[in-house]
Amino acid sequence: MSALAEHEVIDRPILDPALAPPFPVAALPLLRNTQLRGNLAHAIDVIQARRARLVEEKTDWQALRAAASQIKDEALENLGALLEQFEERCTRAGGKVHWAADAAGARKIILEILREAGVDQVIKIKTMTSAEIQLNPFLEASGVHACETDLAEIILQLGDGEPSHIVVPALHVNRGQVREIFARRMGIEHLSDDPKALTEAARNYLRQKFLTVPAAISGANFLIAETGSVVVVESEGNGRMCLTLPQTLITLAGIEKVLPRFNDLEVMLQLLARSATGERMNPYTSLWTGVTRGDGPQRFHIILLDNGRSSILARKTGRQTLRCIRCGACMNACPVYRQTGGHAYGSVYPGPIGAILTPQLEQMRHAQSLPFASSLCGACYEVCPVRINIPEVLLELRARVTDEERKGLSRFFDPMYIGLRAAHAMFSRARLFHAAQRAGRIALGFFTRRDGWIHSLPGVGAKWTVSRDLRGLPKQTFHEWWQGRTRGTREQRRYRA
Amino acid sequence: MSVSADSRKQILERIRSATQSSAPAANTNGGTRQYQIRGKLTAAARKDLFVERLREYDAEVVECEPEELENAIAAQLEASGRRRFVAPPGLPAGWLVPAAWKITGFEWDIDHDLPAGEIEKAEGVLTGCFCGVAESGTIVLHHSAMEGRRIITLLPDWHLCIVRATQIVETLPEYFDRCENRGEGSKGTKVQGNAPIGEVPGLVTWISGPSATADIEMTRIKGVHGPRFLNVIVVNDGDQGSGAGG
């Protein structure tokens, strides 16, 4: 826990993996924030109950999950060819396809397009990929104001907050807090905290922007290689506004978003809304193909972003991470996320998927604490609509982090390393093992209270007892009991004879 | 843009080396589709399910016989309390000027590339659709002349959509089959004025209820930026009992 002392308790969450403190440190202030935890628990309970009901009524759910993971695996195996096919079809339909190897490249391309269009303001549909490349602060610094239009994103943008969930980014904010932010930033004097009134305020606030701002930025839920089409899934209609009204549309999409065929959507669209928001279908899903004359933006740019994804593609176990369709079901199911919320993960991708995605996107240079932020209970795997075996990837990443740490000579000064080497020697020799058991019983006896539990240990042992109790060792091991028992029966037999 | 060209080469090279070891997967055409493709309901039950699911989304739904459609439209327009409507260019004239209806004074803007400002002034919009999906209560627009440009079903606050019972399929895969003309479903359907069946559409909007959000405490609020009111007239045009959706 020495890390605790190195970092001051933070007020504003840091969602940049390069700068964020390790998970246990970032989690502490959140665990003490009872308001936040209350908001979180309420919202998660609501989504979980709705999802469970709608998944239950779907009798072919497991077949859909199997099909979805198959489609995604096929897409990933053929990724290069599918991206080229997408590029060719999208270009033929009037779109302009750009490629960005990293975040800086993507930001540069977007700014160039906006400069060319001569705009100083751009409207945005919620896109986690743009948060990943930290687009908003970059545009702001370059003189272009990026105006978020998703209700949750407005709450965060106006309230100077950070997203804590990939589907419901302002999950941690309650109605009273939203009322305060809107009243202050929109200059509305009398505003009730009724979600209906708050939604109305957002509608009025944005209407004029939708009609006047000439450029928009979106993400993409799916790219269709067969047709060169892009699909965006949303609820509020702000997405449709951004996709339809401006003259210039810029879409930023991770390279893993591509699907081979149009009718692959018949699987994905059945899984996504049920998993994400617990609805049979989200209110609006839009598909467009390049530019349609007379309908919607007449200039369409799409940026295909790598930013670490191709390195994940190369890993045998890790590759399945790229199946993710960003539904957020894993975070809603996760007992760890439920306690800390999203900010502890130090990345725009929180929860179990964040714990495997972030360190891999960072190519294991940052966020090494995240694979350990899990109890490996497997609830995330069970709900994942594309069957990502998150616990399996977590274990692989833990091994990679540990291997990395154990490379140099410094490992000989690591108590954990020395302890495990000693355990290895001990567990492989019965005589040593029994001796250690006897020694341990005597040593731990000093710390075992009358109730049979150890409540605190000194030194390395405190790492365990700081948050958990440990059962004291029993007076007799199984071996000892067994030997006593067989001896006894032998004596009985002799007696009877 | 040279940045982009360099990146393209770099990304494709990285992908190639990452996928080298895995054998190039055959185009499996979506695998074996082990999930439910065909619906099991009769035409009447399918229509009932569609209506029920739409109502669960807070959409207003009425049903009528084909000969009653114009009256039903007029009744809906009247009950909406709105006067100014926009319509796509491909609607039957009878839908717009309900001759049998005594009350006049509806103002129609036919969308021949109307500017956004004009469409914004309309209080409502009337359209057809390509398809209805019963299981999820979804209306699918392909933006043909009967459904109009995307903007007209977006800016007005009130959307009245006409769905013929023969346009309703039970499952989402049945809709996709209808698009690609793979299933038997497309034969005998009376889809009028829509994009030709058998072609993958270039523009699609799937609408499931009025616009909504649950961003504040997961409380579902109807009507954020899209139309706050979705009204649907289901026209019973099918021969009862025969499966139109396949």
Q: Where are the domains of chain B?
A: 42-235
Spatial separation of the C-alpha atoms in residues B189 and B187, rounded to whole Å = 6
Query: Which of A168, A202, A288 lies at the smallest CB-CB distance from B203?
Result: A288
| For B26, nearest residue in chain A (alpha carbons) | A74
Which chain B residue's Cα is nearest to A54?
A: B136
CB A146 within 8 A of CB A362: no
Q: Is the pLDDT of residue A244 over 70?
A: yes
Strand A299-305 with A258-259, pairing: unpaired
Q: Which of A204, A244, A298, A386 is the mutation pick for testing B, counting most B CBs within 10 A?
A: A244
Q: How confident is the model at residue A11 (pLDDT cuts 50, 70, 90)?
A: low
Q: At what angle do helices B2-19 and A103-117 cross, to 10 degrees?
A: 150
- Look at residue B194 in the predicted model and tell me its pLDDT: 41
pLDDT tens for A391-400 read 999 999 999 9
DSSP assignment string, A336-386: HHHHH-SGGGSSSS-HHHHHHHHHHHTTTSS-TTGGGS-----HHHHH-TT
Percent of chain A with pLDDT over 90: 80
pLDDT by residue (tens digit) across A22-77? 999 999 999 999 988 998 999 999 999 999 999 999 999 999 999 999 999 999 99
Secondary structure (3-state) at A34? helix
- 3-state class percentages of chain B: helix first, strand second, coil last, to nearest 5: 30, 20, 50
Nearest-angstrom CA–CA distance, A476 and A467: 27
**Nearest Cα residue in chain B from A259:** B30
**In this predicted model, what pLDDT tens digit does every residue of A412-422 receive, in sequence order?**
888 888 888 89
Cβ within 8 Å, pair A287-B203? yes
Asked if B199 is an interface residue toward chain A (Cβ–Cβ < 8 A), one would say no
Min Cα–Cα distance to chain A from B25, Å: 6
Nearest CB neighbour to A310, from listed B1, B18, B36:
B18
Quote the CA–CA distance of B91 and B72 in Å, as a whole number.
15
Query: Phi and psi at residue A292, in whole multiples of 5°?
Result: -105, 120
Window 216-235 of B, Cβ < 8 Å to A? 216-219, 221, 223-227
Q: How distant is the Cα of A48 from the closest Cα of chain B, in angstroms? A: 11
pLDDT digits (tens, 9 = 90+) for A246-294: 999 999 999 999 999 999 999 999 999 999 999 999 999 999 999 999 9
Contact: A263, B176; criterion CB under 8 Å: yes
Parallel, antiparallel, or unpaired: how do β-strands B131-133 and B138-141 relate? antiparallel
Question: A240 and B179: CB-CB below 8 Å?
Answer: no
Which of A198, A266, A284 is facing B211, going by the closest CB pair?
Answer: A284
More confident residue, A485 or A243: A243
Please give the Cα distance from A304 to A254 (Å, whole number): 6
Contact partners, residue B67, CB within 8 Å, separation at least 6: none
pLDDT on residue B2: 67
- Which of B175, B179, B207, B217 is the best mutation test for A, with the most CBs of A within 10 A? B217
Q: Once rounded to an integer, what is the mean pLDDT over residues A124-138?
A: 96
Does B34 contact A149 at a Cβ distance shorter than 8 Å? no
Give the model's pLDDT for residue A276: 95
- At B180 the pLDDT is 75
Q: Are B216 and A266 an interchain contact pair (Cβ–Cβ within 8 Å)?
A: no
Chain A interface mutation, best of B213, B221, B222, B228, highest count of A Cβ atoms under 10 Å: B213
Q: Express each pLDDT in A435-479 by its tens digit.
A: 998 998 999 999 999 898 999 998 878 888 888 889 988 888 888
> Beta-carbon neighbour count of residue A366 at 10 Å?
18
Residue of B nearest to A77 (CA): B19
Residues of chain A with CATH 1.10.1060: 2-41+311-405
Kindly state the tokens that stand for A133.
């490349």
DSSP assignment of A75-142, as one string? HHHTHHHHHHHHHHHHHHTTEEEEEESSHHHHHHHHHHHHHHHT-SEEEE---HHHHHTTHHHHHHHT
Do residue A287 and residue B113 have CB atoms under 8 angstroms apart?
no
Q: Which residue of chain A has the CA closest to B138?
A: A281
Residue B201 contacts residue B218 (beta carbons within 8 Å):
no
Fold of B42-235: Rossmann fold (3.40.50)
- B200–A227: do the CB atoms touch at under 8 Å? yes
Average pLDDT of the residues in A207-233: 97
Q: State the Cα angle at A237 between A233 and A239, rounded to 5°.
A: 55
- The answer to whether A203 contacts B225, with C-beta atoms less than 8 Å apart, is yes
Total CB pairs under 8 A between chain A and B: 258
Structure-block tokens of residue B147: 């459904």
Q: How far is B242 from chain A (nearest CA, A)?
A: 24
Rounded Cα distance between A190 and B84, Å, is: 32
List pLDDT tens digits, range A371-390.
999 999 999 999 999 999 99
Render B15-67 in DSSP notation, one character per residue.
Answer: HHHHHSSSPPPP--SSTT--S--S--S-HHHHHHHHHHHHHHTT-EEEEE-GG
Q: How far is A288 from chain B (nearest CA, A)?
A: 5
Higher pLDDT, B220 or A215: A215
**Which pLDDT tens digits describe chain B residue by residue (246 residues)?**
567 889 999 999 999 999 986 555 555 555 568 999 999 999 999 999 999 999 999 999 999 999 999 999 999 999 999 999 999 999 998 898 665 566 667 889 999 999 999 999 999 999 999 999 999 999 999 999 999 999 999 999 999 999 999 999 999 999 999 997 643 443 334 343 344 445 689 999 999 999 988 888 878 888 889 899 999 999 999 765 444 443
Q: Do A294 and B12 touch (CB under 8 A)?
A: no
Q: Tell me, what's the pLDDT at B200?
A: 85
User: Tokens at residue B215, please?
Assistant: 């961003």
| More confident call, A491 vs A473 | A473
Q: Say if the Cβ atoms of A264 and B22 lie within 8 Å.
A: no
Identify the residue among A196, A221, A280 best suited for mutation to test binding to B, counting B beta carbons within 10 A and taking the highest. Answer: A280
Closest CA to A134 of A216, A15, A250, A21: A15
pLDDT of residue A461: 84
Q: To the nearest whole angstrom, how far is the Cα of A262 from the nearest Cα of chain B?
A: 7
Mutation target among A35, A259, A279, A387 for the B interface, most CBs of B within 10 A: A279
Contacts of residue A6, Cβ cutoff 8 Å, sequence gap at least 6: none
To the nearest whole angstrom, how far is the Cα of A243 from the nearest Cα of chain B? Answer: 9
CATH code, residues A2-41+311-405: 1.10.1060
